[in-house]
Amino acid sequence: MKQVILKILSIVFQYIDELLCKLHLKRPVVMVYMDGGICSQMLIYIHGQYYAEHGLDVYYDDYWWGINGKDQYGSMARTFELTEMWPNLEFKTPSKWQRKWYLLFFKAKRINGDMLPIPESVKHSIYLNEYWDLPAIEYDRLFAKTFILRNSIIPTEYSHNKYDNVVGVHVRRGDLAKGDNPYYGGVTDGYFMRAIEFCNQQFTPKKYIFFSDEPDWVENNICNQLEKSYEIMRNNKAWEDLWLLSQCPVIVASQGSFGKYAARLNPNAVLIQCDNKYAWRDRENTYFIQ
C-alpha cells in the first residue's frame, strides 16, 4: 500500500513540477547520486555537467560520505576529494530535506537501459540514482573540458619534482584484488611484472613509482623483484596520487580506473593496460599486456 501511495504522489508531484517548468517559474532540478573514490567522483560530476551546460539546475548528493565512505568490503576509506583537487568546480549539494524529496518522488526511470536521459528530454526534475552510462563522445568532451590539470591544485610536497623517464604503476588491490569484477575486470599478479619488463625493454626508465591501496603488498610482491630504482607512495590523499601519476610519461594501469584517469589527464603519456575486454581501446599511444 505504501508503494502505491508513493507512486501516485510521484506522478502528481512530477506533473506539477513539469507544469511549473513549462511556465518558466522554475528550472528542472537534476540531482545526481555520488559515492566512491576520486575517479568515481569525477565520473559522476561529468554526468551533472552534461545537464548543467543545457541550463538545468544540478545538485550533487554527497550524503554517502557521511554514512559510509568505505569500499564494498567496508575496509578501505573513500573520502570526498574532488573539490580539493579542483576547488573552482561549481558544486551544489542539497539539504537533507531536498535530498529526501527528490529521492522519494523524482527518481529517474531507466527507459533506455542504463543510458542517461538526454537533456532535451528532461521536462521535470529527476533524481539519478546509482551509476548511469554517457555516450563516449560526450564523456570524452566533458572530461577534457572539465578536468584540466593546469586548473588543479598542485601537491606542495611534489611541486618541484621532475618526472622525466619515470614509469608510474597503479596497483589496485582492496576490493578488486580477487576475481573478475563485472565492471572493471581483473588482472593477475604476473601482469605487473610483465608490464614492467615491457617498460624496461621499450623505455629504459630510470625509476618506477608505485601507487596502491596496499603498499606493503607491492613492496613484498613486486618491488623485491625489481632491479631498477623505485619509490612507493604512502599516506597521500587519492587526489595527490592521481596528480602524481598523471605526471609520469609512462603509466601502467591496473584493472580499476585510476591509471586510465591519470592517462586522460595527460594525453601525451604512454598507457600500458591489461589486454582484456575492459581495456580502453580507442586511446592512441597505448600498449596492451596479457
The string of pLDDT tens digits covering residues 19-39 is: 999 999 999 999 999 999 999
- How much of the chain exceeds pLDDT 70, in percent? 91
Q: Is the pLDDT of residue 175 over 80?
A: no
- pLDDT score at 60: 97
- How much of the chain exceeds pLDDT 90, in percent? 58
What's the pTM value of the predicted model, to 2 decimals? 0.91
With beta carbons less than 8 A apart as the criterion, state whether 265 and 149 touch.
yes
The CB density around residue 214, as the number of other CB atoms within 10 Å, is 15
Give the length of the chain: 290
Residues 6+ apart with CB under 8 A from 3: none
Helix (H, G, I), strand (E, B) or coil at 289: strand
Q: Is the pLDDT of residue 79 over 80?
A: yes
Q: Which three cell numbers stand for residue 125?
A: 526534475
Report the chain's mean pLDDT, rounded to a whole number. Answer: 88
**pLDDT class for 180, splitting at 50, 70, 90?**
low
- pLDDT score at 250: 96
Q: Is the pLDDT of residue 167 over 60?
A: yes
Q: How far is CA 205 from CA 90, 185, 229, 230, 252, in A?
A: 39, 28, 9, 10, 13
In sequence order, what DSSP letters do the residues of 231-248 get, joined into one string? EE--S--HHHHHHHHHH-
Q: Which three cell numbers stand for residue 67?
A: 554514512
The Cα–Cα gap between 172 and 184 comes to 11
**pLDDT class for 278, splitting at 50, 70, 90?**
confident
The CB density around residue 237, as the number of other CB atoms within 10 Å, is 14
* Of the candidate ranges 3-7, 132-136, 151-155, 186-190, the one whose mean pLDDT is the lowest: 186-190
- In 144-156, which positions are buried (b, 16+ CB within 10 angstroms) versus exposed (e)? eebbeeeebeebe
- pLDDT score at 140: 93
Of 77-81, 134-138, 261-265, highest mean pLDDT: 261-265
**pLDDT class for 160, splitting at 50, 70, 90?**
confident
- The cell 542517461 sits on which residue? 116
